Amino acid sequence: MRIAIAGASGMLGRAASGHLSRAGHQVLALVRREPTGPDERSWQPDAGRISGPGLADVDAVVNLSGAGIADARWSDRRKELLRSSRLNTTTTLVAALEPDGRCRRFINASATGFYGDTGETVVDERTRQGTGFLAELVADWEQAAHAAPVPTAFLRTGQVLSRNGGFLGKQRLLFQLGLGGRIGSGRQFLSWIHLDDHVRALTHLLTATLTGPVNLVAPHPVTNAAFTEAFAHSLQRPAVLPMPLFAVRMLFGSEMVDEALLSGTRVQPRRLLDDGFEFKHPGLAGALADLART
């Protein structure tokens, strides 16, 4: 297959591009600069433009674009960037797709933030939208992708675990220094997925018939306290002191802390499992052990 990827320079995009290329697919990266070779194509999503021939020469499109949710304080300007970096890219790609064209599959990023704070309740793709900024953002994001004239799947992704960057990268130094700890009570659930399983699931969905929301999370979510203990153990470090919330709130603001750090979502990958997908890293301890290997 010839597959166009938006967001190919990010952690997920780089992993997906490498995995798909090794599997024999041809990857075309959409870039916001001058292309440096035939495997790149320039686009300007804020202006709604993709250089010729647009998406007419690809079999599938994968959109992994979007500014980092927890990378900065949620000011009004930051919230607008979180929205525009998702909605503008999605609407530009959707507008470039033709119902009778060569492209027959659109895979658009999404997030488990759709469900909001669900406490200990187990949720899956049948669960309704939650409340809060993140839930509204994800719902609008999926609605933009829903307008695509080709079969479309939304990747409701949890926290992605990788050796470099991502969810672990933001915390690794603190844990290595023995300063990592649970957040708040630690009872909030964390739905996670190993990076390898994320790209394997994405590849699976490129040829599957599933459309609509698909949860990209491992089948065994854990509490924040359990994650803290497991991550510290994998680094052979203690994790005794809880994170000082007053300091985090000062840095990032209460809204982001409440929605992105203190809320919990206990998500199940029901549709992936029903479709026969097998996780290589279904449990947290095994996933962390794999990531700890050099």
Q: Model confidence over 88-106: pLDDT tens digits?
A: 999 999 999 999 999 999 9
pLDDT, one tens digit per residue, over 234-276 is: 999 988 878 778 777 877 788 888 888 888 999 999 999 999 9
pLDDT, one tens digit per residue, over 60-77 is: 999 999 999 988 889 999
Distance (Å, whole) CA 108 – CA 148: 10
Beta bridge partners of 111: 157
The domain locations on the chain are 2-292
Return the structure tokens found at 32.
Answer: 């916001």
- Specify the fold of 2-292: Rossmann fold (3.40.50)
The candidate with the shortest Cα–Cα distance to 113, out of 254, 252, 217, 7, is: 217
